Amino acid sequence: MRLGPEQRDESVSQPGESRPTRRATVAALEDLLYRPLSVLDEHGFVRVIDYMGDDAAIVQAARVSYGHGTKRVSEDQALINYLMRHRHTSPFEMCEIKLHVKLPIFVARQWIRHRTANVNEYSARYSILDNEFYVPSPEHLATQATTNRQGRGEVLDAREADRVLNALRAEAGLRRAEAERAYRGYLGLLNEDATGAPIDPARPGVARELARMNLSLNFYTQWYWKTDLHNLMHFLSLRADPHAQHEIRAYAEVILGVVQRWVPMTHKAFLEYRLNAATISATGLAVIRRLLAGETVAQDNSGLPPREWRELMAQLGRGV
């Protein structure tokens, strides 16, 4: 993965500038600061640029509302669990994090829908985009799902998988060739070669803001992204979920690892009460009560539409 010269300087010079602070710091996250954490391929990364707060800051904010009744360290996890369970979210807003993310443009389009963050994106009006693009590895080039219009399909049987894999390898090669061609076209419009020298000194290049328009969505962009822990968990609950597209999920999983280092108690509560928990509808709850009472319940007498019935049975680990 590539960092620009300013970013390399920043990651080298910052530790040299360290000085004592009275602010709360988290040793496990300090170790990670400025280090790119690889995502997807050799280009994608997430790196922590800055952060504010820790588990203790959440507990302290909560005690402003609950008083000093629960003061023992052993009770901090219980208090954070309580906040998470009861969606008392504002104490989590006391913590903030700033990330530098390098991501394919099609992932950025999904990510930017999360409006409760501050974003500063690399400008392709001022700077020339790198010749870096994402091509999925064959195992992630799945067929279209038939049950979920937004998803990828099931695993195929061995013979079919082999045939599809060969086709996908060829497809990946084609995508790579197309992206290379698009980048050559981009440089051609700019009238610059890979070193920045004019290809034809006799003619002017097209403006960067126009030259970029033929690049495809798999080219990489980068941004600084700052958000608070409450909104970060909302992002993660949607994007680290199995329904999220593999590529954005890969980023969410790396960020989950960062959250674990930064606020381990909150991370634990988040997995328990949000990410790995389930929301059950009122009718679904009634079905569970009937099942617990020993009743035989089928979809047609459950009150649930077929899809919700299938989802509930999957949540309960029962085949339908």
Ligand X SMILES: Cc1cc2nc3c(=O)[nH]c(=O)nc-3n(C[C@H](O)[C@H](O)[C@H](O)COP(=O)(O)OP(=O)(O)OC[C@H]3O[C@@H](n4cnc5c(N)ncnc54)[C@H](O)[C@@H]3O)c2cc1C
Using the rule CB under 6 A, is 144 a contact of ligand X? no
**How far is Cα 32 from Cα 45, in angstroms, rounded to an integer?**
13
Residue range at the interface with ligand X (CB under 6 A); choices 58-66, 230-238, 266-274, 280-288: 230-238
Q: Which of 86, 113, 125, 318 binds ligand X (CB under 6 A)?
A: 113
Q: In angstroms, give the least distance from the CB of 239 to ligand X.
A: 6
Nearer to ligand X (CB atom), residue 116 or residue 144: 116
Using the rule CB under 6 A, is 90 a contact of ligand X? no
Q: Which of 70, 231, 260, 299 binds ligand X (CB under 6 A)?
A: 231
A 10 A CB-CB count for 236 gives: 24
Using the rule CB under 6 A, is 114 a contact of ligand X? yes
Q: What tokens appear for 205 in the block?
A: 């290049």
Of 113, 239, 289, 310, which residue is the catalytic one? 239
Sheet-wide strand order for 37-38:
37-38, 45-52, 96-104, 220-228, 118-121
**How far is Cα 105 from Cα 118, in angstroms, rounded to an integer?**
18
Q: Which of 238, 271, 288, 313 binds ligand X (CB under 6 A)?
A: 238
A 10 A CB-CB count for 157 gives: 8
Using the rule CB under 6 A, is 234 a contact of ligand X? yes
23 as an active site residue: the answer is no
Using the rule CB under 6 A, is 246 a contact of ligand X? no
**Residues facing 119 on adjacent strands:** 225
Where along the sequence are the contacts to ligand X (CB under 6 A)? 113-116, 150, 231, 234, 238, 243-244
The residues assigned a catalytic role are 239
